[in-house]
Every structure is written in structure tokens, then in C-alpha cells.
Amino acid sequence: MTAALISPALSELSPQLAEPLRLAVLASGNGSNLAAIAAAIENGDLNATIQVVIYNNPAAKVAERAAQRQLPAVLLNHRTFASRAALDEAIVQTSQDAGADWVIMAGWMRRVTAVLIQAFPQRILNIHPSLLPSFPGIRAVDQALAAGVKITGCTVHYVELEIDSGPIIAQAAVPVLADDTAASLQARIQQQEYRIYPAAIAIAAQLAGKSTAINLHT
């Protein structure tokens, strides 16, 4: 059993047609959340366009996923930058050059700096595999298993300087089963990530005063 947790004020936002959101998607690995967001756009559940995909690991599968959908992808290898701020400057420039007005972190495994946050104030979102504020940071699924909790899940939130600390937009709860491993629990959490992230993007856009279309399937 799973459940989407969205506050009444957010869930009562009515769907409205508007110009598409222009997204820059940041990813470091497999890119499955990129695929989920792209699918939501293709299915008409999210009124948006992916202007650019930015990835930081040369071998990341997300580049292949972007190519399959003919999405522009740019490698910004963090190892080639002198500092986190320098990397974020490149992210800002690449995103702005692509015409993006929102930054969507979809498995982005780098800490951000004020450079990026100030360039896109209240327009940077992240998804984290726990019910924040519980289990922030790395290995959130392992943290949940070690703590012996019965319920965990995932959270979409605004990005702030402190890791996984920004205001929460949406959450989905996932039960922890007696025989769960990190891999099995992670897989079930990811299924909920794919479901709530597109809806949370639309909700954040409405809260920012830019109407869009929401279609959160149950």
C-alpha cells in the first residue's frame, strides 16, 4: 500500500492550461526520474518542455535516456571544475542558454551553492528517497532500514543550501516490509518518485504564479 501525501491547500489547486514550463533537468546516474518526467510530458500530464539535460558523470545512463528522446544533453564533469561554485556557474549558464526557467534535480549527486540557488530562486526542486525531515543526506534507504521504521517514502522539496532542508511540496509513503533489502525498498520508493515528481513540479509552478496543468493519477 502506498499513499500520496499532499496538503489540502495544494491538492485543491485546479488544473489550468498555460504556456509550458521550461525545465533544465540535472542527473548523475540512471536517469529514471528524467524518463518519468518526460513520459508525463508526453502523456499530457505535465505541461512542460525539457530544454536541456545536464549530467556530471561521463558514463551516466541518463545521457542515453536523453538521446532516446532526442533531448539535448550537456556533460559538465564536476572533476574538471575548480570548485562547486564554478560547476554551478556552468550549470546556470547552460540552463539559461537553453532557455530554462526551472531546475529539476533528478538524482543529482552534487551539493549546490548559492550561485545556483540565487540564479533560480524558489525554482529548483529535488526528490529525496525518504519522508523528510527523516533520513536526509546519502543512503536514505539504508538509514531507514537501520532505524527499523515501518514506513518511509519519498519527498519533493525546494532546494536550499542545507542538504534536503527546503520546504516540502509533496510526499508519498511506502511501507517497509519485514523481508526488505535496500534494493527492494529502493525499487518501491522509486515507483512513487515517478508518480509524484511530475505533479509536484506542476504544483510548484502554480505556487510560483505560473499556471500549468496537473493530472495526478491515483
Catalytic residues: 128
Quick one: which H or E segment has residue 175? strand 168-175
CB-based contacts of 195: which residues, under 8 Å, 6+ apart? Answer: 4, 36, 172, 216, 217
Do residues 64 and 144 touch, judged by C-beta distance below 8 A? no
Q: Which three cell numbers stand for residue 58?
A: 561521463
3-state secondary structure of 176: coil
Instruction: Kindly provide the b/e burial profile for residues 36-73, where b requires at least 16 CB atoms within 10 angstroms of the residue's own CB.
Output: bbbebbeeebbbbebbbbbbbbeebbbbebbeeeebeb
Closest C-alpha to 56, from 38, 86, 78, 25: 78
